Chain A
């Protein structure tokens, strides 16, 4: 029999307790145990960024992060970003500016943007490129993604000022 260990995870402000093998990644636990499928399974080696979630506000590749390590930390997934079903400003900007095509990379980009704007509320174009370098998108050619991030940053700043 496979060895199972108890895990206690705080995800999107909700506490979860479950049993899983100790080698399970955070991505596997989110998707397979908790039905949180917004983080995507693609390269599974930290190259593409589709599995991005926030751990204590920082973007990480959940495919390379063991679920046991995430205990005691605050995990945010794409499902936790919208408030009462309303899109967060970052999500709105991605939709409005054409940053979403097939959408497979979108949750990862949106959360990486959240992490970026937490640290740097008014990033330059180069800051954005550097911050997104761990995220692949094959559809957009990145232009509309960068424009979406610029839009999100300026909208959030405007809201903050107003």
Chain B
């Protein structure tokens, strides 16, 4: 089954080590903090100690006078233009000017000869604040009379999205069973190990350059120009090797980026700024904490007739891409189950906390947690097997969802069955010892999004006379393997090896403009552009070789770095000979450029209607846990997952993506949380912000993932997304497993030991006074 397509290809479908693996393993890969430039200064940022305050006065004179300090900047050094993604969400400033809205917001920056001096200088900046009343809870922030964060946002509503498909009231009235549940999710961080880092240079000719670890360098490029009030052409953003991203600050221009270039302008020197981990964990960009109210109506057999979801998201102090985050959560109600009637009402509320944006899975993760937790309770009430209820509601290939998603390949039923088989579900469910349980969870994701703004990707290929292929795209490798999978696509088309393809880092002065690396779009969108560019290069080479070999170009095949007559394989020339012959004889260069735009369908964000992505990916998983009732500690003893990533182009990379997403979800489910008291992050270090370790994952023999292989006609060589979708069902699977093990239903994240222990104690007390146990005794 797995080899069904692989044998047809020399490169794609074969496990391929990452192209940049060797330089990284050698310690030679250059991350932003590893770079230095002659005369480079070091910058540090001064942050607000108040959650909400007016800035009355900033006096930088003592800092500027400190020996070793070369420049100081405040908000007034910038033009005061707010930047951001959409016109209605532009509320960022490079540095605060008159108001700070969360603890950690940037108010000034210093460049000095070394970091110690810059740090010392921060203490010498005198800021007079006038504290304002602050609000941290979104429901309080919505009330009349609550402190208001932004003049333009009455009731602190940062974004509001509502849509309705079908006749929801009628469907609920006809439902056999209706239940309502409330779920709460927490603030979690991306947790990448490389802190944000950049070097800014404003040279004497007015060229503004930024070297930085950005996932989406062109977003940064646009935002920098906007916030600096300069022409786009005067800004250059150069991507350095990215040490993990998972969205967040590496998607956007951050205050550090603006300060590095402005400090450079003032000092005439390049300026490097690197965040400490304390800063990374304190400042904005985290997953939206949500309170979700979910009401679902089903028929007797558990078929979902209607779903109504209301949610309030704690957006923090600024917008980031929060408007899209709210649309996406509602859109994802439509997959992977058939829901004929949907009502969705979401509000993103400004509060005096660090702001929220995207993080692997985006807002799909919260929806999947709530929905698959509740589905389990519905199945229990209706006495339906948890597997059956999922099959009964599974979307099928060819379906069109209520919001207009056109489902192509979608092997959801097969994913469910694969997990049942891998996990030994039927041997375990209901048969495990006390405090041991198994739970099921499902998810799905998009293969890139059609956005209103920039959606399309492009690729350029240049074949050199030594037979190497120079591939440039605007996509970044952030560890996920874009360098390898995009090179594999080009290599497959041109009949060369992956090592013959050179993949470049993004440089806005020379690479094709691109929306960025997010929404599982790179393999699909950029991959299609690369395939088309490679096909064009192959056509050019075939013409040259055809003239040289006196063979019809259409009869030529490309394999093993050779161009071969398919009717007579004795007639063959090395690929590099064709390149040379073309260049020497006619001056022809083999250069191609191609794009992929996924059609011109657009989402109507007012109605929520439209086909967001060219392809959708379902996933399913089962997880087995052991819960210590005394401590509430959850041990994950087994995990089995399956997803439909289309045809996995690099199975080694797909495995790494899927398992990485899964383990990140373990952390988000069980222990990760940003503890905030009155807007202050209480655990801004990896000592206190706990992420999964090697000892927290199941034994390798009990940690399995399988691809249900399909062939997505729209994807490059049949591929779809991998790496976000597979993580989305994991949190509900854990909640369901804990329920199976203990009988306690955890509706709040994280499902931490203290909460589980308390819930078990509570339930035991309830049992003692004669309430019916929540689950039958095992």
Contact = CB atoms under 8 A, between A and B. Distances in A.
A56 interface: no
A62 interface: no
A96 B386 CA distance: 39
Q: How large is the interface on B (under 10, 10 to 19, 20 to 34, 35 or more residues)?
A: 35 or more
Interface in B1-50: 15, 17-18, 20-31, 33-34
A125 B700 CA distance: 8
Contacts of B693: 132-133, 136, 142
B652 A98 contact: yes
Contacts of A125: 699-700
A132 B692 CA distance: 12
Interface in A122-160: 125, 128-130, 132-133, 135-147
Contact of B663 (A38, A41, A133, A141): A141
Contact of A104 (B22, B31, B695, B703): B31
Contact of B246 (A94, A96, A128, A138): A138
Contacts of B656: 98, 101, 139-141, 144
Contacts of B652: 97-98, 144
B669 to A, nearest CB: 14
A10 to B, nearest CB: 18
B114 to A, nearest CB: 9
A43 B26 contact: no
- Give the dominant DSSP class at A's interface: loop
Nearest to B662: A141
Contacts of B694: 128-130, 132-133, 135, 142, 145-146
Nearest to A149: B694
A104 B697 contact: no
Most buried by A among B30, B191, B242, B695: B695
Interface string A98-121: 101111111100100000000000
B193 A50 contact: yes
A7 interface: no
A95 B193 contact: no
A40 B33 CA distance: 9
Most buried by A among B25, B31, B479, B699: B25
A96 B17 contact: yes
A78 interface: yes
A100 B18 contact: yes
A26 interface: no
Interface residues of A, number: 55
A25 to B, nearest CB: 13
Contact of A129 (B17, B34, B663, B695): B695
B494 interface: no
Most buried by A among B193, B480, B700: B193
B660 A110 contact: no
A98 B652 CA distance: 6
B653 interface: yes
A103 B243 contact: yes
A94 B244 contact: no
A78 B193 contact: no
B195 to A, nearest CB: 7
B700 A101 contact: no
A144 B481 CA distance: 14
Most buried by B among A37, A44, A110: A37
Given A47-B686, A125-B699, A37 B244 contact: no
B349 interface: no
Interface in B246-279: 246, 274, 276-277
B478 A102 contact: yes
A156 B191 CA distance: 33
A37 B18 contact: no
Given A101-B656, A133-B693, A133-B694, A45 B685 contact: yes
A146 B243 contact: no
Interface string B681-699: 0000111000111110101
B241 interface: yes
Interface in B284-315: none
A94 B29 CA distance: 15
B481 A101 contact: yes
A106 B686 contact: no
Interface string B454-486: 000000000000000000000000111100000
Contacts of A79: 26-28
Contacts of A110: 25
B659 interface: yes
Contacts of A38: 26-28
A91 B23 CA distance: 10
A122 B699 CA distance: 17
A87 B26 contact: yes
Contacts of B171: none
A106 B28 CA distance: 11
Given A87-B22, A133-B694, A143 B659 contact: yes
B209 to A, nearest CB: 21
A78 B25 CA distance: 8
Most buried by A among B21, B30, B687: B21
Contacts of B20: 100, 103
Given A103-B241, A139-B660, A94 B699 contact: no
Given A106-B25, A129-B695, A143-B697, A48 B686 contact: yes
Interface string A19-60: 000000000000100001111111111011010000000000
A140 B697 CA distance: 12
B660 A101 contact: yes
Contact of B659 (A97, A135, A140): A140
A82 interface: yes
B597 interface: no
A82 B17 CA distance: 18
Given A47-B685, A47-B686, A138-B244, A133 B695 contact: yes
B278 to A, nearest CB: 9
B25 A100 contact: yes
B192 A138 contact: yes
A98 B22 contact: no
B685 A103 contact: no
Given A47-B687, A135-B694, A136-B691, A102 B479 contact: yes
B655 interface: yes
A143 B692 CA distance: 12
Contacts of B23: 103
A102 B687 contact: no
Nearest to B727: A141
Given A101-B480, A125-B699, A43 B34 contact: no
Contacts of A144: 652, 655-656, 659
Contacts of B245: 102
A138 B191 contact: yes
A138 B664 contact: yes
B194 interface: yes
Interface string B479-497: 1110000000000000000
B193 A104 contact: yes
Interface string B709-750: 000000000000000000000000000000000000000000
Contacts of B277: 42-45
Contact of A39 (B27, B190, B664): B27
Nearest to A95: B21
Given A43-B687, A103-B243, A105-B193, 13 more contacts: A36-B27, A45-B687, A77-B27, A91-B25, A98-B656, A102-B24, A102-B244, A102-B479, A138-B660, A139-B656, A141-B660, A141-B692, A144-B652
Interface of A: 31, 36-45, 47-48, 50, 77-79, 81-82, 87, 91-92, 94-98, 100-107, 110, 125, 128-130, 132-133, 135-147
Instruction: Give the 6 A-B residue pairs with the shortest CB-CB distance, closest first.
Output: A38-B27, A102-B479, A103-B24, A141-B663, A104-B243, A78-B27
25 contacts: A31-B34, A40-B194, A40-B243, A45-B687, A50-B193, A87-B26, A91-B22, A94-B21, A95-B22, A101-B656, A101-B660, A102-B192, A102-B194, A102-B243, A102-B479, A103-B21, A130-B695, A132-B694, A136-B193, A138-B193, A139-B244, A139-B480, A143-B703, A144-B656, A146-B700
